Structure 1
Amino acid sequence: MKIILLVFFFIMFSFIFLKFYKYKKAFKKDKSIKFNKSNLYNWMNLTKKERFDLSKKESNSYLKKRKTLLEEIRKEYKIISKND
């Protein structure tokens, strides 16, 4: 019985440790700067890699927003076409 509990705790500990290790980037301080006229100097103070990463993240979020909007439009169109 004790061996089973030890194995269970070991598996749970390793699972939690691996999850934390995998998502440790989520705990890092996020520099969320959007590029616009008012914060141009803040944007230019970032390194080239940081600017690239931020622009890539913004483009991905914009793409996700467009996809969800397109899905909503398709759902509404299906509902409207079924009613007619």
Structure 2
Amino acid sequence: MNKEFTVSMSPFFKITTVILIILLILIGLSLSYNEKSLFTNLIYWGTVLPIILGCYLLSLNKIKVDFNNIYLISKIK
């Protein structure tokens, strides 16, 4: 018996995620506008963008249930 279930986020989690991403982008844009140092901007965007991208790619996409195992499948295989 193999069953596969898709995973969806709750509305609260979706709204919270969107708010956090918008907040991080607005902070970055404000930092880029006010701070003219290229090093500071590279540190910020070099930290924030990989974290956002990594969280998206490693988020749960499907759950596959077997008799002996449970597989958690992310967006990247």
Identify the structure with the greater helix proportion.
1
Structure number with the bigger relative contact order (C-alpha 8 A, sep ≥ 6) is 2
> Shorter-chain TM-score: what band?
0.3 to 0.5
The structure with the largest alpha-carbon Rg is 1
TM-score by length of 2: 0.40
Identify the structure with the greater strand proportion.
2
TM-score by length of 1: 0.37
